Structure 1
Amino acid sequence: MTFSLIGRCARTGQFGAVATTSGLCIGARVPFLAAGIGGVLTQHRTDPRLGPRGVALLRSGCTAQETVAALEASTPDHGWRQFAAIDRAGRTAHFHGARVKPAHNHAHGADCVAIGNILASDRVPQAMVDAFLAHPEAPLGDRLIDALKAGEAAGGEGRPLVSAVLLMVAEESFPYADLRIDRDPEPIAALEALWRDYAPNIDEYVLRAVDPDRARGG
């Protein structure tokens, strides 16, 4: 009942993730990122403890594959879990537990990986990756939104979607963007509209934090 993608922009070094589901408040549970490090997606009977644990492994120098292997080995209930990771070099890895419900699938591309479970079509992850890679010159947020829309167009999940998230990190310890639709009958459309409104001011919000003397407005 969740499809998601985590990726890296090779031009800027930014990392980002998007996800959507038929449950509430997905942004609080699935994507975890650290600037200059990479990140983790954790879903299907979601255990949010795996996100910070995975980021800590990446921070320690583990590759994406090593991180995923360590999460699997250290999680007693890993049969219920589905997760993916990307490291600072853009390498990716994923894991599907034996009890993850179908249709589920994954797809890897340059600097990105998509995973999904309880999908209406197992083509969803590949459609997300294809959309993410289609315009590498575009801002990362645009590419992430395109991936989410492509996943829905490829079938999405079998139940109506309710929530969605777009999370990005750049150079600072805080998110570059952390946009969440916690409950909406059209969460992907609502997330896209929120991103379009937020994107023109995104660097100003960072400037207010790191160099307020140069910032505009209040």
Structure 2
Amino acid sequence: MTFSICVGEHYEDDEGNEQHRFGVAVTTRLPAVGQLCPFVSEHGAIATQSLVNVDLGRDGIAYVDDGLAVDDALPALLAADDSAPQRQLHGVDADSTFVFSGDECKPWYGHREGDRYTVAGNLLTGASVIESVAETYEAQRDEDRPLAERLIDALEAGQAEGGDKRTDLEVQSAALLVADTQEYAFEPSYNDLREDASREPIADLRETYELAVEGHETLLERYEDASEEDSMDDVSSTE
């Protein structure tokens, strides 16, 4: 019912410090995928789908946050799950990746594992959906644009290849989550976005992203003005 991408990236901030960021983007032909599938922290990213077991994502990211590698944490969770053959589970951390598609997932299903990214999907029109998501991400990986924006591009590419094959289900959803190790005066508001019920969820997610970027830039401008005046009154009044 779903296709998704998990990503981990290393980068330098404006001060030249090494940072890590992680993200998940997901879409499906059902409402509210954002409350079920994506799990992200500053240590990793995980997506759980097909016959969704939310605990696989919740517990998996908790284990990664505790220092366990994703390719150790997720197989251990699957080993204890009696319904593992019906699951898709994939993710990344700073050093490793893991992807699993159970042999009872609904066709077309499959996955792809690359350099610090994973892609998986089920009930798709075909393998080209997964390939297009992966190739779009790879082609844009080194671009100086926010990861959230590039994740939307990857979803859009998969949708253009057919996406979820259940065209009789018009109410769809999409979501993205991004986290990183960098410190901010205000966390980027465009890194946690959901379209819970839409007939064009990826297009709507992009519009929401663009509005969130605009709002975040406005907030930063007000913050900078308040800093120059040595006052946070203007900032607090925006909340």
Query: Taking structure 2 as the reference length, what is the TM-score of the superposition?
Result: 0.81
Shift >6 Å, 4+ stretches:
none
Q: Contact 1:39–1:54 (CA<8 Å) still a contact in 2? A: no
- Asked if the contact 2:8/2:45 (under 8 Å) is kept, the reply is no
> In 2, distance between residues paired with 1:140 and 1:195?
11
Question: For the Cα contact (< 8 Å) 1:127–1:147, is it kept in 2?
Answer: yes
1:74 corresponds to which residue?
A: 80
175, 195, 207: which is aligned to 1:181?
Answer: 195
**Counterparts in 2 of 1:188 and 1:60: CA distance versus 1, 3 Å:** same
- 1:17 corresponds in structure 2 to 24
Aligned ranges for residues 197-216 of structure 1 at < 5 Å? 197-202=211-216, 204=219, 213=232, 216=235
The answer as to 2:63 corresponding to 1:57 is: yes
* Separation of aligned partners in 1, 2:54 and 2:8: 21
Larger radius of gyration: 2
In the alignment, structure 1 residue 169 sits paired with structure 2 residue 179: yes
- CA deviation map 1:116-142 (0-9, x unaligned): 001001121221111112122222012
- Residue type of the alignment partner of 1:46: V
Does structure 1 residue 133 correspond to structure 2 residue 152?
A: no
Q: Percent identity?
A: 32
RMSD between superposed Cα atoms in Å: 2.4
Give the deviation of 1:61 after TM superposition: 2.1
* 1:6–1:15 CA contact under 8 A, matched in 2: yes
**SS of the residue 2:108 aligns to:** coil
- Partner of 1:9: helix, strand, or coil? strand
Which residue is equivalent to 1:191? 205
The DSSP-based 3-state class of the residue aligned with 2:151 is helix
User: Shift in Å at residue 190 of structure 1?
Assistant: 0.3
Provide the C-alpha distance between the structure 2 equivalents of 1:75 and 1:213, rounded to a whole number of angstroms. 50
The amino acid across from 2:6 in the alignment is I
Residue matched to 1:85: 91
- 1:67/1:85 contact within 8 Å kept: no
**In 2, are the aligned partners of 1:80 and 1:97 still within 8 Å (CA)?**
yes
Q: How does 1:19-34 map to 2 (within 5 A)?
A: 19-34=26-41
Preserved CA contact (<8 Å) 2:107 2:122: yes
- 1:175 Cα shift? 8.1
* Count of equivalent residues: 212
What does 1:152-163 correspond to in 2, within 5 Å?
152-160=159-167, 162-163=172-173
Amino acid at match of 2:124: L
Instruction: Give the deviation of 1:157 after TM superposition.
Output: 1.3
Distance 2:208 2:5 in 1: 19
Instruction: Indicate conservation of the 8 Å contact 1:103/1:117, yes or no.
Output: yes
Amino acid at match of 1:141: A
What is the rounded CA distance, in whole Å, between the counterparts of 1:123 and 1:28 in structure 2? 27
